Amino acid sequence: MLMVIGKWDEFRHRMTHTRDIEKEWMKTEETHRVISHPNLQTGVTHGNFGEGTARRVVVPKTSHKQGSIILRMSWALRASFVLRTIFALRALFIVDYGCPP
C-alpha cells in the first residue's frame, strides 16, 4: 500500500486533520492501524513486497506533479511484478505436480 499525501494539497487538512502532515501523520491512530511498525517514517518502505506487507507513506509538496506520478507508477509495477511472479510459480507447481500448492 502506498499513501501519497501532498503537503500543500487543498484537501489534505480535511482528509488528515493535521496541521503539519510530516510531523503528525505518522503518529496518528489511522496510520498505525494500517502500518504496524514501531518506528514509522515517511519515505521508508515498511514490510515486504514478496509477503504482501509493503507499506509506505510519501509526503511530496503536491500529489499531482510528475515525481509523485512516477513514484505511484513504479510502486504499482513493483507490486504487480511480485503478484505475476507468485502466480507464475503457482502455475509451474500445478503443472509439475498436478496439484495446487
Read off the pLDDT of residues 88-97 as tens digits, 9 standing for 90 and up. 666 655 554 4
| Residues of the domain holding 83 | 2-97
**Residues 4-28, mean pLDDT to the nearest whole number:** 77
- Domains identified in the chain, total number: 1
pTM of the model: 0.63
Q: Please report which confidence band the pLDDT of residue 24 belongs to, taking 50, 70 and 90 as the band edges.
A: confident
The reported pLDDT for the residue numbered 100 is 52
pLDDT of residue 92: 56
Long-range CB pairs of 50-59 (<8 Å, 24+ gap) are 50/82, 52/82, 54/1, 54/79, 55/1, 55/2, 56/1, 56/2, 56/3, 57/3, 57/5, 57/25, 57/26, 57/31, 58/2, 58/3, 58/4, 58/5, 59/5, 59/6, 59/7, 59/21, 59/22, 59/25
Q: Using 50, 70 and 90 to split pLDDT, how confident is the model at 83? A: low
